[in-house]
């Protein structure tokens, strides 16, 4: 899916075990904007990575025109839940 630049995007990741939603001991979010190095955020250390509810985490970003292109990301849970989820999205530069 493609989004226009300067649009606030909320990326969510969910973790669940056999009994439903559950929080891993540690949650990490990695994101790679086009042409940039990987950025890593850890829940409880970096305010950018938020816990919305049990097993549900979110990260917000507002990509600029200079960051147009394909973004890649990954949520990683470790400890009580060992899981990861990858995804990507496209940002298109807005022209007037």
Confidence of residue 96 (pLDDT cuts 50, 70, 90): low
What is the structure's pLDDT at 18? 85
Q: If residue 77 lies in a helix (H) or strand (E), which one and from where to where?
A: strand 69-78
Share of residues in the chain with pLDDT > 70 (%) = 99
**Which tens digit of pLDDT belongs to each residue from 49-88?**
999 999 999 999 999 999 999 999 999 999 988 999 999 9
As a whole number, the mean pLDDT across the chain is 94
Domains of the chain: 2-92 (2.60.40.10)
What is the structure's pLDDT at 1? 77
Q: Give Cα separations from 56 to 3, 39, 66, 69, 74 (angstroms).
A: 23, 20, 30, 27, 14
């Amino acid at each position: 899916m493609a989004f226009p630049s300067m649009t606030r995007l909320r990326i969510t990741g969910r973790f669940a075990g056999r009994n439903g939603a559950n929080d891993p001991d540690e949650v990490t979010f990695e994101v790679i904007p086009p042409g940039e190095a990987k950025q890593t955020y850890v829940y409880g250390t970096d305010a950018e990575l938020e816990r919305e509810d049990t097993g549900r985490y979110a990260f917000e970003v507002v990509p600029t025109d200079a960051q147009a292109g394909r973004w890649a990301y990954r949520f990683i849970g470790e400890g009580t839940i060992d899981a990861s989820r990858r995804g990507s999205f496209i940002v298109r530069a807005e022209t007037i």
